[in-house]
Amino acid sequence: MQLSSDANRFTEEVRMANVSGNLDAPEGGFDAIMQAIVCRDQIGWRDQARRLLLFSTDAGFHYAGDGKLGGVITPNDGECHLDKEGWYTHWDRQDYPSISQINLKVKENAINVIFAVTAGETSVYEKLSELVEGSSVAMLSEDSSNIVSLVAEQYQKISSSVEMKDNRTDNVIDVKYWSRCRGNTLVQTNRCDGLKVGEKVTFEAHITLTKCPEDPREWNQVLQIYPVGINESLTVDIEMLCSCPCEHPSDPGYQVESPQCNGQGTLKCGICECNNQHHGLLCECSHLGDGSSEPGVSDTCRMSNSTEECSNRGHCVCGVCQCEQRTNKDELITGKFCECDNFSCERRNGLLCSGEDHGSCVCGQCDCREGWTGQACDCQKSNDTCMPPDGGEICSGHGTCECGVCRCAVTEEGRYTGWHCEKCPTCAGRCTEFKHCVQCQMYKTGPLYPDGCANCSLFVPTAVEKVTIDEERNDNKCTFYDEDDCRFEFSYNDRENAKNSSIPVEVHAQQERECPPKVFMLGIVLAVIAAVVLIGMAVLLLWKVLTSIHDRREFARFEKERMMAKWDTGENPIYKQATTTFKNPTYAGK
């Protein structure tokens, strides 16, 4: 679904989402991140908004090359592939995006990614965050109960810091950043932290050419300097003067006393280098001629206290500056010393002086039209846009009007927000004040029930099935847990009550409390006892069975050994006595 303030629809979409599992642990979250970044129209990203992308998970991630496991080998093209209903159509046609692709798209679209992951995956995503520009990692609880505070904390860190980056891809150019941040000392840094709304910081970029590329095609480069997470950038065209062979006499274009220089100079690289007696673009001016070309005439092409001839944006021809011509015919360099132009003024949203309806660029400064002011003519002189629609003070008395926009204040009570600084999410509000009366009147519970309910005359809560918030009515939502550990919600509207607490307020309370199911402790105790007894009896029965089996085996072995013991001498057919008896036939018995 597109970015929307319809929380009910978002809840319904999440509830209807299919939950499925896979054989491997990593998830295909990179596909979702890529589509959420590049599908700007389908998602509804605004051009000038700070863009946050929250990625919540409890597992690792698939990246480029893992698609081979499913037979997908076509590399990811980094384009949008969502249908009209928001479904990703190329999940089975393209491989997962690579980390470098994600980083590239994040930089191109100025998006801050927040990885909200559980404790077991924090180390993995911290390493991933180092490779994705402008991303951060926060620990998500197992039940995701801290998701709101997590997002608020990470947004505070992101919105209170500014980090400058550039698109360098080699070591030919060295860029160093300097800033005073919130102090007075200029230090070398590309990041300022701890900023508040309305504070302004300035960065200086010092660009140095460390060496000349070997390929002449790389002598002209474009450097983009941009703040991380903000869709604005400064483009610097760099032309490297690395080699000029045409300055040497061996070059065919090298001509001494060239006709193109009126015979008074040497043609080098298509430019005339005049002799000591002549000057001008084509050496057409003589120092020894009439009064208009006396020595020192070139000084008339310099501004007072300046050594730059024609502001380095033109040529001095016989004492008169001839300003350079831009490739864009609408961009003009003018002035006696070529000191003025109509293209170097401040810009807003890429428009010079915020557009023709706001002002025009005159000699490097914006000339604002009626009703507009500021360096870029981006500030309205009128404070009408800072007045609340229902009347009252400017910015509801909780901020100042700057450029037609309220800059809300941060007080000891909390931080005010909203278009007219009419909201204060961190202020205490009246939730605690109304809590006991809502319990007493709605649920017949709480310290005021039953005798103290008569004192709750300020309001009578209206029962609703689900508490919703109407921001246009300036509703406030309250959530509490009572003594029965039951959760209940209610909302109140007291737009006028900030000035008079005696005016009745409108309260909508949840019809039924959300209580945890009751636990039958006696049943649990009896079940545990019965389980212990049954387990004991089962153990005794098992012991009896094993003992009987063992006894039977021992008895059978005993019977077998007893049967084998019956083989004695009388029954053995091959048994012979150890002695032999002989009878003498001649013996007469005497």
- Neighbour count for residue 423 (Cβ, 10 Å): 19
CB 186 within 8 A of CB 177: no
> 34: closest CA among 100, 95, 97, 127?
97
Q: Which two tokens stand for residue 393?
A: 């003070």
CA distances from 319 to 288, 307, 500 (A): 14, 15, 77
Q: Which two tokens stand for residue 487?
A: 């959760």
Say if residue 499's pLDDT is above 60. Answer: no
Q: Does residue 157 or residue 413 have the better pLDDT?
A: 157
Say if residue 42's pLDDT is above 60. Answer: yes
Whole-number Å distance between alpha carbons of 514 and 504: 27
CA 416 to chain CA mean position, Å: 24
Tens of pLDDT, residues 542-581:
999 999 999 999 999 888 887 876 555 455 666 667 777 7
CATH topology for 347-380 is Laminin (2.10.25)
- Average of per-residue pLDDT across 477-493: 86
CATH topology for 382-427 is Laminin (2.10.25)
SS3 for 461? coil
Exposed (0-12), middle (13-18) or buried (19+): which is 399, by Cβ within 10 Å? buried
**What CATH architecture applies to the domain 7-160?**
3-Layer(aba) Sandwich (3.40)
pLDDT tier for residue 289 given thresholds of 50, 70 and 90: very low
Tens of pLDDT, residues 311-357:
888 888 777 888 998 888 888 999 988 999 999 899 888 899 989 88
Range picked from 100-109, 422-431, 485-494, 574-583 for highest mean pLDDT: 100-109
Q: Which two tokens stand for residue 160?
A: 């209170």
Q: Which two tokens stand for residue 121?
A: 């995956």
pLDDT tier for residue 216 given thresholds of 50, 70 and 90: confident
Chain position carrying tokens 């100042």: 400
pLDDT tier for residue 298 given thresholds of 50, 70 and 90: low
Q: Which two tokens stand for residue 554?
A: 């021992």
Cβ-count burial 166-183 (b if 16+ within 10 Å, e if not): beeeeebbebebebebee
Helix (H) / strand (E) element for 308: namely none
Beta bridge partners of 316: 321
CB 201 within 8 A of CB 179: yes
> 243: closest CA among 267, 213, 209?
213
- Average of per-residue pLDDT across 503-526: 83
Q: Which of 383-387, 506-510, 541-545 has the lowest mean pLDDT?
A: 383-387
CATH topology for 166-239 is Immunoglobulin-like (2.60.40)
Domain with CATH 2.60.40.1510 in the chain: 166-239
Over 11-31, what HEC string results? HHHHHHCCCCCCCCCCECHHH
Helix (H) / strand (E) element for 529: namely helix 521-564
Q: What is the mean pLDDT of the chain?
A: 84
End-to-end CA distance of the chain: 136
pLDDT at 589: 61
Helices (H) and strands (E) in the chain, counts: 8, 30
The angle that helices 99-109 and 122-131 make with each other, rounded to 10 degrees, is 60
Neighbouring residues of 135: CB distance < 8 A, sequence distance ≥ 6: 106, 112, 113, 114, 115, 128, 129
Phi-psi group of 312: left, alpha or beta (phi > 0 → left; psi -120 to 50 → alpha; rest → beta): left
- Neighbour count for residue 121 (Cβ, 10 Å): 19
Q: Say which amino acid occupies 492.
A: Y
Tens of pLDDT, residues 75-128:
999 999 998 888 899 988 999 999 999 999 998 888 899 999 999 999 999 999
Q: Please tell me what DSSP assigns to residue 444.
A: S
Say if residue 268's pLDDT is above 80. Answer: yes
pLDDT at 108: 87
Say if residue 520's pLDDT is above 90. Answer: no
pLDDT tier for residue 30 given thresholds of 50, 70 and 90: very high
CATH topology for 430-510 is Hormone receptor fold (4.10.1240)
Whole-number Å distance between alpha carbons of 26 and 483: 43
Say if residue 502's pLDDT is above 70. Answer: no
Say if residue 536's pLDDT is above 80. Answer: yes
Residues in the chain: 590
- Average of per-residue pLDDT across 298-304: 79
Neighbouring residues of 146: CB distance < 8 A, sequence distance ≥ 6: 140
pLDDT at 117: 92
pLDDT at 288: 57
Tens of pLDDT, residues 444-484:
888 888 888 888 888 888 899 888 887 667 677 888 888 88
What does the DSSP assignment read for 220-273? EEEEEEEETTSS--EEEEEE-----GGGSTTSTT-BTT-GGGTTSEEEETTEEE
Q: Does residue 204 or residue 582 have the better pLDDT?
A: 204
Beta bridge partners of 167: none
Q: Which of 31-35, 37-41, 393-397, 575-579 has the lowest mean pLDDT?
A: 575-579
Exposed (0-12), middle (13-18) or buried (19+): which is 576, by Cβ within 10 Å? exposed
